[in-house]
Amino acid sequence: MSNCLTLKKSNCKNCYKCIRHCPVKAIRFSGNQAHIIGNECILCGQCFVVCPQNAKEIVNETEKVKVFLQGTEPVIVSLAPSFIANYEGVGINAMRRALKKLGFYDVEETALGASMVKTEYERMIKEDDRDIIISSCCHSVNLLIQKYFPGALPFLADVLSPMQAHCQDIKNRFPNAKTVFIGPCVAKKDEAEYYENIVDAVLTFEELTAWLEEENIELEKELDSDLCSRARFFPTTGGVLKTMEQQNTEYSYIAIDGIDNCIAALKDIENGRIHKCFIEMSACVGSCIGGPVMEKNHHAPIKDYLTVSSFAGSKDFDIPQPKSAELKKNFAFIEHKLPQPTEMEINSVLRQMGKFKPSQELNCGSCGYNTCREKAAAICQGKAEFSMCLPYLKEKAESFSDTIVKNTPNGLIVLNEQLEVQQINSAARKIMNIRSANDVLGEPVVRILDPGVFMNVLKSGRDVRGQHVYLAEYKRYVEQTVVYDHDSHLLIGIMRDITDEEAQRERKEHISRQTIEVADKVVDKQMRIVQEIASLLGETAAETKIALSKLKESISDE
């Protein structure tokens, strides 16, 4: 299969929206990036439509067509009948004039090929004695059957699509011509590339519009048409049946649109529950007018159907019908490369995801897979990652955060903006002598704490950090931090119990005071002793002086 859909890695944000909408889960996630699995993809284009980041990109063949136009061969457009819904008020003649300005030789309606295909379907019902016939106009449906429902392959009409039948007819009339199909379908790019030498290039309506704008070519609002045909109903649900004669009363004629409905019908066919039916299958809801590249991804099914209906006619195109052999197309089974994991491998992955019994398999679909077992199988195949399971991640994150909250020695209390308790851990309950969290959860914080600091932080927006507070009612000292989380609109209080530290500090201060008092007493006592000694020394010195003076005098007298 060609690589018609690519990924812009820088745009992929790992949101899993593409896998949730992929009907066959043909997307692999690796390194937080989505990758389309070519041999599993049916090119329905849903991932392109739903991607919120425009990470899916359709391969553009505009430059390839421009090269064709520079050559000498005529380049002729096969224009999908859904064009009338995409380009409101613009008929085939106006489209022809605009595209000729781009350099195309001519523009014809793919509905010509649709007439040939529906006539061949009528012949098959009438002559081939087939039990079930599934229309083969939609390449995505064909790929769905080839890849996922090989038991229904014998019932797939071995007939060219309208695009191929028309382009083959163009080449029969203009042997050296290049053919370019323009329509609302991604899968047609793959069909053109896989079945060579019929359709040389495929453009989407978006690519055509961008090209016209680049060349400043405006489409004229004109609905006139040289021809009129009911084959123009082909891009609507039931449009194939609307063009066919349904004269064989042995057959039931059924139209199904949307991949999910097609899958349900194919399961019934493989299980032998359906017989004698002609089934028109379209991958897109609403058929081609609901195609993935109808411009601007617009969705107006009723309006678009009425637009197609008003442009269509009640008769067929008057064209020659090719022989059945010329419209023949072979479909082969396309095998998947990834082997199916064993039950043991699936159960092993489920256990790693914390799912040990069926009741733990929520099948919530958040990862994109319908069931947890599908997801586990995809992990075994390397298509998915454990981290894609939202309940698993949530439980793991909560378990991790709960472990931290429960085991931290700090008290934690979380309040909403109404100052009501939202969460409280065991350390905080111990500080405040609260028996159970349920006693205070949802209650105003004023019941257990002075709300002043929380009110100030909420009002000012300025956090308080490392504030020492004495909780008199609990006889506790705490170092308090209060922060406001603007994203979650929550106040978070962190309390470190410093009662023991405060008691030890007070003991140290008491000892220091006692030491100082003792030192002061010792100093005072020493001072008194010194003074007493000084006094005694002073008296002795005076007496000695008197004695010596008298001695001196007596000696002098002699």
Q: How high is the pLDDT of residue 540?
A: 67
pLDDT value at residue 318: 83
Give the least confident one: 18-32, 170-184, 452-466: 18-32
Mean pLDDT, range 7-34, rounded to an integer: 83
pLDDT in tens, 478-494: 999 999 998 888 999 99
pLDDT (tens digit per residue) in 361-414: 888 877 888 888 988 998 898 888 887 877 777 666 666 667 777 788 899 999
Q: Report how far residue 128's alpha carbon sits from residue 276's, in angstroms, rounded to the nearest whole number.
A: 12
Residue 253: CA count within 13 A, CB half-sphere: 16
Render pLDDT for 278-313 as a digit per residue (tens, 0 to 9): 999 999 999 999 988 887 556 688 888 898 888 887
Greater confidence (391 vs 63) lies with 63
Cα–Cα distance for residue pair 271/265, rounded to 1 Å: 10
Q: Which residue carries 């229309």 as its tokens?
A: 135
Q: How confident is the model at residue 555 (pLDDT cuts 50, 70, 90)?
A: low
For the record, the structure tokens of 150 come out as 């090989």
User: 500 falls in which pLDDT band (50, 70, 90)?
Assistant: confident
Asked if the model's pLDDT at residue 327 lies above 90, the reply is yes
For the entire predicted model, the pTM comes to: 0.72
Tell which residue, 231, 218, 198, has the closest CA to residue 319.
Answer: 231
**Considering the domain 1-59, what is its CATH architecture?**
2-Layer Sandwich (3.30)
Number of residues written out for the chain: 558
- Give pLDDT tens digits for 517-543: 877 787 788 888 878 887 777 666 666
Pick from 412, 415, 435: nearest CA to 425: 412
Q: Is the pLDDT of residue 5 over 90?
A: no
131-166 per-position pLDDT tens digit: 999 999 999 999 999 999 999 999 999 999 999 999
Domain spans, the chain: 1-59, 60-327, 340-368+384-407, 409-497
Given this model, what pLDDT does residue 503 score? 82
pLDDT at 391: 74
Residue 1: per-residue pLDDT: 47
Averaged confidence pLDDT in the chain: 88
- The average pLDDT across 80-89 equals 92
Torsion 303-309-310-311 (CA) sign: positive
Q: Other C-beta atoms within 10 Å of 382: how many?
A: 11
3-state secondary structure 194-234: HCCCCCCEEEEHHHHHHHHHHCCCCCCCECCCCCCCHHHHC
Burial of 194 (0-12, 13-18, 19+ CB in 10 A): exposed
For 451-477, what is the mean pLDDT? 92
Chain segment 239-248, per-residue pLDDT in tens: 999 999 888 8
Q: Quote the CA–CA distance of 93 and 317 in Å, as a whole number.
A: 16
Position 506 pLDDT exceeds 80: no
* From the candidate CATH numbers 3.30.450.20, 3.40.50.300, 3.20.20.140, 3.40.50.20, the one assigned to the domain spanning 409-497: 3.30.450.20
429-442 pLDDT, tens per residue?
Answer: 999 999 998 999 99
Instruction: Output the CA–CA distances (angstroms, integers) from residue 298 to 289, 328, 425, in the order listed.
Output: 10, 35, 52
Q: For the chain, what is the radius of gyration of the CA atoms?
A: 44
Q: Please provide the DSSP assignment of 528-553 as one string.
A: HHHHHHHHHHHHHHHHHHHHHHHHHH
| Region 28-51 average pLDDT | 86
Q: Which two tokens stand for residue 12?
A: 């992929």
Mean per-residue pLDDT for 92-114?
A: 95
Q: What is the DSSP string of 64-122?
A: HHHHHHHSSS-EEEEE-TTHHHHSTTB-HHHHHHHHHHHT-SEEEETHHHHHHHHHHHH
